[in-house]
């Protein structure tokens, strides 16, 4: 039976791992490689690197971090942040990425999804949707690391992205990023996962291990991602897997 994936997220900026709250208030939280080693040893099913460096130098750091991680751990690496062209993606794959995630560039130029899927295959292409609450509590899609909000329904955009060739939707709840409070937005998560036939990975808001279970059970997520809970609390991927297993969710267990 296919296992539900538990995926720690590493947010990177200029070669360092950072923490944000609702995509702002950056705080340095350390050396990414050390963290990669820990998550790998603790049985993470996949790792996601999201880079928000705005400079070429920062991007080069990302390539170095991906390469160093691919040399050390034999689990899948999904990498995103600033990917705008097939060449950008190629560079990441070459550096050791197994899957590439695109976000702003995809909604600005949806043809990019078709182009990348035709080249790399859908299965290796993730479209990240940064869902953010706008006026009157309606969700829109935010771009440019949460600074711009488009009046586009995230579920509607997910359907288009999947139709064009996205192999997975990474649904990121911007308003819950780094808050570790109320879990994923289960209503939106379940709306998106029911709307598309590709897997959906949820991210943003996890504060307890029960939130992971809820994301799967109520939200229909195929993969559950989180950052802060693994970095700032004594919860680990090992404990998370075992909690999910006890709740009856199929996961990989470390023997």
Partner 1 sequence: MIAIIDYGLGNLLSVAKAFEEVGAGKPVMVTRAPEALEKASHIVLPGVGNYHIGMQNLRRMGFLESLNEQVIGNGKMFLGICLGMQMLSETGEESGQTEGLGWIPGRCRRLRAGDLKLPHIGWNDLEFQGDHPLFQNIAREREFYFVHSYCFDCPPEFRVAHCTYGERFAAAVQRSNVLGTQFHPEKSRETGLKLLRNFLRMPC
Contacting positions for partner 1 (CB under 8 A): 1-5, 45-46, 67, 70-71, 74-76, 90, 93-99, 118-124, 167-168, 197-199, 222-223, 252, 255
| In the complex, minimum distance from the CB of residue 11 to partner 1, in angstroms, rounded to a whole number | 22
| In the complex, minimum distance from the CB of residue 120 to partner 1, in angstroms, rounded to a whole number | 5
Q: Judged by CB, which is closer to partner 1: 178, or 199?
A: 199
| In the complex, minimum distance from the CB of residue 63 to partner 1, in angstroms, rounded to a whole number | 11
User: What whole-number distance in Å separates Cα of residue 135 and Cα of residue 94?
Assistant: 42
| In the complex, minimum distance from the CB of residue 121 to partner 1, in angstroms, rounded to a whole number | 5
User: What whole-number distance in Å separates Cα of residue 172 and Cα of residue 164?
Assistant: 20
Q: Judged by CB, which is closer to partner 1: 26, or 93?
A: 93
Say if CB 157 and CB 102 are below 8 A apart. Answer: no
Say if CB 8 and CB 39 are below 8 A apart. Answer: yes
The count of C-alpha atoms lying within 13 angstroms of the C-alpha of 145, restricted to the half-sphere facing its C-beta, is 18
Which residues, at least 6 apart from 81, have a Cβ–Cβ distance to it below 8 Å?
A: 12, 49, 50, 51, 52, 53, 62, 101, 103
Is the alpha carbon torsion for 42, 48, 54, 55 positive or negative? positive
| In the complex, minimum distance from the CB of residue 222 to partner 1, in angstroms, rounded to a whole number | 6
How many other C-beta atoms are found inside a 10 Å radius of the C-beta of residue 251?
21
User: What whole-number distance in Å separates Cα of residue 25 and Cα of residue 2?
Assistant: 37
Q: Judged by CB, which is closer to partner 1: 126, or 149?
A: 126
| In the complex, minimum distance from the CB of residue 26 to partner 1, in angstroms, rounded to a whole number | 29
Which residues, at least 6 apart from 97, have a Cβ–Cβ distance to it below 8 Å?
A: 66, 70, 77, 78, 79
Q: Judged by CB, which is closer to partner 1: 72, or 181?
A: 72
């Amino acid at each position: 039976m296919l296992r539900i994936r538990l995926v720690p997220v590493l947010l990177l900026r200029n070669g360092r791992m950072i923490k944000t709250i609702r995509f702002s208030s950056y705080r340095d939280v350390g050396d990414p490689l050390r963290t990669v080693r820990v998550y790998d040893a603790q049985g993470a099913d996949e790792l996601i690197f999201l880079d928000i460096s705005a400079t070429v130098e920062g991007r080069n750091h990302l390539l170095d971090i991906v390469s160093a991680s691919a040399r050390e751990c034999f689990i899948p690496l999904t990498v995103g942040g600033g990917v705008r062209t097939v060449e950008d993606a190629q560079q990441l794959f070459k550096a050791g990425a197994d899957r590439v995630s695109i976000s702003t560039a995809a909604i600005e130029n949806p043809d990019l999804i078709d182009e990348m899927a035709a080249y790399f295959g859908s299965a290796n292409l993730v479209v990240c949707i940064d869902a953010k609450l706008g006026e009157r509590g309606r969700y829109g899609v935010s771009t440019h690391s949460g600074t711009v909000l488009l009046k586009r329904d995230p579920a509607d955009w997910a359907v288009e992205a999947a139709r064009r060739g996205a192999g997975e939707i990474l649904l990121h709840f911007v308003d819950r990023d780094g808050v570790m409070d109320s879990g994923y937005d289960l209503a939106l998560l379940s709306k998106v996962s029911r709307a598309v036939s590709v897997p959906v990975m949820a991210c943003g808001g996890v504060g307890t291990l029960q939130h992971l279970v809820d994301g799967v059970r109520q939200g229909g997520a195929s993969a559950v991602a989180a950052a802060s809970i693994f970095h700032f609390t004594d919860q680990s991927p090992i404990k998370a897997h075992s909690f999910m297993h006890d709740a009856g969710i199929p996961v990989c267990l470390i023997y």
